Amino acid sequence: AQSVSQHNHHVILSEAASLELGCNYSYGGTVNLFWYVQYPGQHLQLLLKYFSGDPLVKGIKGFEAEFIKSKFSFNLRKPSVQWSDTAEYFCAVIPLGRDDKIIFGKGTRLHILP
Amino acid sequence: NAGVTQTPKFQVLKTGQSMTLQCAQDMNHNSMYWYRQDPGMGLRLIYYSASEGTTDKGEVPNGYNVSRLNKREFSLRLESAAPSQTSVYFCASSEARAEETQYFGPGTRLLVL
């Protein structure tokens, strides 16, 4: 069965530190890839997505992610985090050509210290 | 545009009671979804509706039923609530299943005693 792994369950950083959150998936075919963010007390919203083309995608609020097909990875990065980035981050994958159901990772809680 | 709306925001039930969670979207989306979010488990798909008139089971459908009332509305029913169904429930919609940016509602916090 397809799965999505987010290796870091809880990350604590100081402001201005660099961030990289890992995401790996298990599916050998074509995928659509997403990162969603859930700020405290709010609902999920899209941070960025990759369907095709340039494997380095840029999202809102200075986030970017790189799709590395050979590693089945879609890691999220930000060069300098802010306190307002405190949130839970979810990687999600749609394996195309199967049942096209989206599969979410278990999430990474990011806490930024002011 | 309100996006995706859900009612109620909070609910407390006793074991065995029933209730329906309501979801509506005003984006003319074809597909709608119900998820539950539990600590450390991420989001798990309960049911989805690829288009009006169709529904399909997701990862954790047991104990739930759904109705796609029309293109706008997709309800989730708990016939006999159990403490294991204590969770936060999110409704989402997308233009088409295969395309896939999903827009989420604000969630319903459900506590089953």
Contact A63, A77 (CB under 8 A): yes
The band of B97, judged by pLDDT with boundaries at 50, 70 and 90, is low
List the single residue in A with minimal CA-CA distance to B43. Answer: A104
- So what's the pLDDT on residue B1? 65
3 state DSSP class of B23: strand
List the single residue in B with minimal CA-CA distance to A100. Answer: B98
> In this structure, what are the phi and psi dihedrals at residue B25, rounded to the nearest 5 degrees?
-130, 145
- So what's the pLDDT on residue A101? 78
Token pair for A85: 């980035």
Contact B47, B66 (CB under 8 A): yes
- From B82's Cα to the closest Cα of chain A, the distance in A is 23
Nearest to A45 among B35, B58, B104 (CB): B104
B98, pLDDT greater than 70: no
B109 contact A CB<8A: no
Query: What pLDDT, in 10s, does the model give residues A30-67?
Result: 899 999 999 998 889 999 999 999 999 999 999 999 99
- From A43's Cα to the closest Cα of chain B, the distance in A is 5
Please state, in angstroms and rounded to a whole number, the distance separating the CA atoms of residues B16 and B1: 37
Nearest to B45 among A34, A96, A101 (CB): A101
Query: What pLDDT, in 10s, does the model give residues B53-63?
Result: 899 998 899 99
Q: What's the length of chain A?
A: 114
Do B100 and A34 count as a contact with CB atoms less than 8 A apart?
Answer: yes
- From B79's Cα to the closest Cα of chain A, the distance in A is 25
